[in-house]
Amino acid sequence: MNSKKRPRRLRGTETLRNMVRETRMDKASLIYPMFVVEGKGIRREIPSMPGQYHYSLDMLPAALEEVAKSGVSSVMLFGIPEKKDELGSSAWVEDGIIQRALEAGKKAVPELYYITDVCMCEYTSHGHCGALCGRHVDNDRTLPLLAKTALSHVRAGADMVAPSDMMDGRVEAIRQILDENGYLETPIMSYAVKYASAFYGPFREAADSAPAFGDRKTYQMDYHNAKEGIKEALLDVEEGADLVMVKPALSYLDVIRRVSEQVCVPVAAYSVSGEYAMIKAAAMKGWIDEASVVCEAATSVYRAGAGVLLTYYAKELARFMEEGRIG
């Protein structure tokens, strides 16, 4: 063979492969999701998500310190309240579970960056993401509830808020109330492109947020649609979103790519509970090499165009980056 074109030349050594790597990641781009519950002395493993836990407020600081020591600098907090009602009113009260978690976290581990999920599904008695009109989620009636929830989180210490409800106009409503109250510098990461996905199953167990009736297909997106995802992302940017998210990640790499090419803000992707559970289950059976699959899957998300990754494997990925296995 006599050829000037030999792509293998750039694969000869690890140093060279690292030098010419197209996709690069770092620990600062990782966000670790965490679940906070009422009670004391609780560090309870979530059955469908081995290695992930519910933490009571007294156990949360130790868990946050572990995250910080891993090199992950950001967490996303999800709260599971003791009481639920039709409107999800415990989402915005001053002594709510997330509000107290922020206070505890900021005091114990102030170096972390605290992002909060803004949605009603964990707080409503019916499990839907907004106020109901009959059996239908009332979009416009939900907007002020989301806005005051976001404001309560920021007042309690949230560094960023992340609305995940998929109501039309919620980014604008949240931006307006934050600005009116002097929080002009607080960014919004919108779950802009959130599909009605079967991959959320383990999360709904973890967050006790399964809908009591019906499904969420009237407000979350149809997974057949990609162009619609671009429309959603552009609308949220227009309303004031500082980052936009695609969720789930692995089955929507094409959408991540399309969105990243269309918006002028950072794009995040959420590798959701079902993706985590499948990898974990196969690894526990000995069918795959867990570390290798985690690294490959995460790289595919960044390669598709995401610059930020929410993942339950964040701590492990930080270690793999430190070890040079990925990055």
Residue 301 · residue 256 · CB < 8 Å: yes
Q: Which residues pair with 133 in a beta bridge?
A: 136
Residue of 247, 280, 285, 315 with catalytic role = 247
Q: Which of 143, 149, 88 is nearest to 121 (CA)?
A: 88
**Active-site annotation holder among 27, 83, 107, 194:** 194
Query: 308-311 and 30-37 as β-strands: parallel, antiparallel, unpaired?
Result: parallel
- Is 107 designated active site? no
Active site residue 194: yes
Retrieve residue 244's tokens. Answer: 């936009």
From residue 15, how far is each of 10, 18, 19, 21, 320 by CA, in Å? 10, 5, 6, 10, 17
CA–CA distance, 48 with 304 (Å, rounded to integer)? 28
The set of residues, in sequence order, having a beta carbon less than 8 Å from that of 97 and lying 6+ positions away, is: 36, 37, 38, 57, 79, 80, 81, 82, 90
To the nearest 10°, report the CA torsion of 304, 33, 173, 262: 0
User: Catalytic residue numbers?
Assistant: 194, 247
